[in-house]
Amino acid sequence: MGLLSKKDSKLILDPLADNNPITIQVLGICSALAITAQLKASIVMSISVLFVLGVGNVVISLIRNIIPSKIRIIVQLTVVAALVIIVDLVLKAFAYELSKELSVFVGLIITNCIIMGRFEAFALGNGPWRSFLDGIGNAAGYGVILIIVGFFRELLGSGTLMGVKVLGDPIEKTGLYAFGYENNGFMLLSPMALIVVGLIIWVQRSRNKALIED
Amino acid sequence: MSTNTESNKYTLLFAIGMVVIVGSLLAFTASSLAPNIDVNKRLEKQQNILYAMGVNENEGSSATFVSTEKAPELFNQYITEQIIIQGGNITTSDEAYLVDVKKQQSNAKAGIDRKLPLFIGEKEGQKYYIAPILGKGLWDAIWAYVAMDENMVIQGAYFDHKGETPGLGANIKERFFMDDFIGEHLMENGTFKGITVSKSNADPKNIDKTDYEVDAIAGATITGDGVAAMIKSELKLYVPYFKSLNN
């Protein structure tokens, strides 16, 4: 990458795989369970987190030297909450349909531990540009897992992708359903998200032994 | 910077300053976007009402509204009358639109007669009576626009929700659920019976339209029960009006 130095591009690329916030740091699991029953919701959630974490990291990094350490967690929370409310309002005003899709998820962003985690661990000690890259990288790492989980849960649970019936119609018995295939309703329940995340962790660690802890 | 960022005084001032800045930023954003949001909400209501009476752009199996640009024009074209029913009084009013169902529900609890808005539309010679209703799902509010004919047979319905679980309760706004209501009867020999969202439905393909049941969504028991309860308690209030129509 000519645009970024090696150190900077590491900030973006690391969280995508070897230091993924979900599969390695096991952060942000709660929202990964709650909203991945549909691919579309996963994608929208990923984009929103990308925005909030990217901007939030920059804001925290800019004011990092003037935040009193006693109340820094509250300050971080306020920044996330304010950004989330702005996202929510802007969506309601200019992309009403999309904001209805998101409904509760927008609020859920505030509780995402990845965001507070990155503010605390990175933005408080680094400059705005590096913080921005770190935010984007971590949000993308989070998004990738969300989209993978959402893909499998929607495909196997509802037989659809983005709401489109890719496997045929389960009531009319067309496509795969003509051969006796059935949707696995269990995939729609939250525990299955945990199992899918677990499978991803298994695959990832068996391919890269260095990630295995003692 | 020589300021001591750890002193109590600084901490307090910082907190106050932050609250003021963030507060005014949010207040400014909210008030400058409010007109846009109101317009969106009004258009959505029109789209919902039109959807319930079958004026929509459904294609395949997904529910599609008429576009927001066309909604006001189509609304004027199809909705011939808006009325408010309060006790025994029926008034024609363009304000039916603005009746806040939630507020009316709490009015009713306080003993004040509820204002019941009803939209009367006409399409291809058939009359539609569209009632907005509001109830409780698993997490938050659910609501619906139900279009009926003179005999309270459902002609179309649009369900929506504030925060039901995606993939489960949120599916009440999918066509496979909403369309099941079309043709269902609400009245049995002159008494109001409502519709049960049933898990033990013997009629999953929904051929029997007078069984007062539709098929429930797996994994969304409480949302489904909420839909049934909403229909039972809210649409019941319109019974006297429909009875007066048929006399």
B124-148 confidence digits (pLDDT tens): 888 999 999 999 999 899 999 999 9
B235: Cβ contacts below 8 Å, ≥ 6 apart: B131, B133, B146, B148, B152, B186, B192, B194
Under the banding of pLDDT at 50, 70 and 90, the label for residue B60 is: low
Contacts of residue B163 in chain A, CB cutoff 8 Å?
103-104
Q: State how far the Cα of A128 lies from the Cα of A59, in Å rounded to an integer.
A: 8
Q: State how far the Cα of A177 lies from the Cα of A74, in Å rounded to an integer.
A: 52
Chain B interface mutation, best of A188, A190, A192, highest count of B Cβ atoms under 10 Å: A188
Q: State how far the Cα of B148 lies from the Cα of B153, in Å rounded to an integer.
A: 5
| A166 touches B at CB < 8 Å | no
The alpha carbon dihedral of A129, A134, A140, A143 has a sign of negative
| Predicted local distance difference test score (pLDDT) of residue A199 | 92
With a CB-CB cutoff of 8 Å, which residues 41-60 of chain A face chain B? Answer: 41
- Check pLDDT > 50 for residue B232: yes
State which of A67-71, B85-89, B225-229 shows the largest mean pLDDT.
B225-229
Identity at B175, one-letter amino acid code? R
Binary contact (A104, B139; C-beta < 8 A): yes
| A6 touches B at CB < 8 Å | no
A157 → chain B, closest CA residue: B167
| Predicted local distance difference test score (pLDDT) of residue A59 | 93
Mean pLDDT of B100-129: 88
| A92 touches B at CB < 8 Å | yes
A92: Cβ contacts below 8 Å, ≥ 6 apart: A99, B33, B36, B37, B40
B13 → chain A, closest CA residue: A68
| Predicted local distance difference test score (pLDDT) of residue A1 | 45
| A191 touches B at CB < 8 Å | no
The pLDDT tens digits for B200-222 are 877 777 778 888 888 888 889 99
Under the banding of pLDDT at 50, 70 and 90, the label for residue A148 is: very high
**Cα distance from B140 to chain A (closest Cα, Å)?**
10
Nearest to B166 among A35, A86, A89 (CB): A35
HSE-CB at A135 with a 13 A cutoff on CA atoms is 29
Give per-residue burial for B207-238: e unless 16+ CB within 10 Å, then b.
eebebbbbbbbebbeebbbbbbbbbbebbebb
The pLDDT tens digits for A13-35 are 888 877 888 888 888 887 788 77
| Predicted local distance difference test score (pLDDT) of residue A58 | 94
Contacts of residue A154 in chain B, CB cutoff 8 Å?
167
Q: Hey, is A68 helix, strand or coil?
A: coil
Q: Which of A98-102, B88-92, B154-158, B169-173 has the lowest mean pLDDT?
A: A98-102
Q: Mean of the per-residue pLDDT values for chain A?
A: 84
The alpha carbon dihedral of B63, B138, A45, A144 has a sign of negative
Chain A interface mutation, best of B1, B24, B38, B40, highest count of A Cβ atoms under 10 Å: B40
Q: Which of B26-35, B203-212, B219-228 has the lowest mean pLDDT?
A: B203-212
B19 → chain A, closest CA residue: A78
Q: Is B184 in contact with B195 (CB distance < 8 Å)?
A: yes
| Predicted local distance difference test score (pLDDT) of residue B165 | 82
Nearest to A37 among B62, B160, B166 (CB): B166
Q: How many residues in total does chain B contain? A: 247
Among residues B178, B97, B167, the alpha carbon closest in space to that of B132 is found at B97
Q: State how far the Cα of B106 lies from the Cα of A214, in Å rounded to an integer.
A: 60
Nearest to B44 among A96, A153, A163 (CB): A96
Mean pLDDT of B97-126: 87
At how many degrees (to 10) do helices A128-158 and A6-13 cross? 30
Under the banding of pLDDT at 50, 70 and 90, the label for residue B42 is: confident
Under the banding of pLDDT at 50, 70 and 90, the label for residue B3 is: low
Give per-residue burial for B125-139: e unless 16+ CB within 10 Å, then b.
eebbbbbbbebebbb
Greater confidence, B198 or A108? B198
Nearest to B219 among A69, A78, A188 (CB): A188
| Predicted local distance difference test score (pLDDT) of residue B4 | 77
Q: Hey, is A164 helix, strand or coil?
A: strand
Binary contact (A93, B30; C-beta < 8 A): no
ipTM: 0.71
| Predicted local distance difference test score (pLDDT) of residue A3 | 65
**Cα distance from B228 to chain A (closest Cα, Å)?**
23
Q: Is-above-0.90 flag for pTM?
A: no
Q: Is B106 in contact with B203 (CB distance < 8 Å)?
A: no
Residue B192 pairs in a beta bridge with B187
Mean pLDDT of A138-145: 91
B38 → chain A, closest CA residue: A93
Greater confidence, A30 or B229? B229
| Predicted local distance difference test score (pLDDT) of residue A214 | 63
A128: Cβ contacts below 8 Å, ≥ 6 apart: A58, A61, A62
Contacts of residue A70 in chain B, CB cutoff 8 Å?
6, 11
| Predicted local distance difference test score (pLDDT) of residue A102 | 67
Q: Mean of the per-residue pLDDT values for chain B?
A: 87
| A38 touches B at CB < 8 Å | yes
- Check pLDDT > 70 for residue B43: yes
Mean pLDDT of B60-77: 82
Give percent of chain B with pLDDT exceeding 70: 98
**Cα distance from B166 to chain A (closest Cα, Å)?**
7
Contacts of residue B33 in chain A, CB cutoff 8 Å?
89-90, 92-93
Q: Is A187 in contact with A152 (CB distance < 8 Å)?
A: yes
Contacts of residue B1 in chain A, CB cutoff 8 Å?
65-66
DSSP state letter for A14 = G
At how many degrees (to 10) do helices B8-52 and B71-78 cross? 40
- Check pLDDT > 80 for residue A213: no
Residue B123 vs residues B43, B66, B71, B242: alpha-carbon distances, Å: 20, 15, 15, 19
HSE-CB at B230 with a 13 A cutoff on CA atoms is 26
| Predicted local distance difference test score (pLDDT) of residue B68 | 81
B130 φ, ψ to 5°? -110, 120
Nearest to B30 among A70, A89, A185 (CB): A89
Nearest to A85 among B1, B26, B61 (CB): B26
HEC profile for chain B?
CCCCCCCHHHHHHHHHHHHHHHHHHHHHHHHHHHHHHHHHHHHHHHHHHHHHCCCCCCECCECCCCCCCCHHHHHHHHEEEEEEEECCEEEECHHHHHCCHHHHHHHHHCCCCCEEEEEEEEECCEEEEEEEEEEECCCCEEEEEEEECCCCEEEEEEEEECCCCCCCHHHHHCHHHHHHHCCCECEECCEECCCEEECCCCCCCCCCCCCCEEECCCCCHHHHHHHHHHHHHHHHHHHHHHHHHHC
Greater confidence, A190 or B9? B9
Q: How many residues in total does chain A contain? A: 214
- Check pLDDT > 70 for residue A52: yes
B134 φ, ψ to 5°? -140, 135
| Alpha carbon distance, N-terminus to C-terminus of chain B | 84
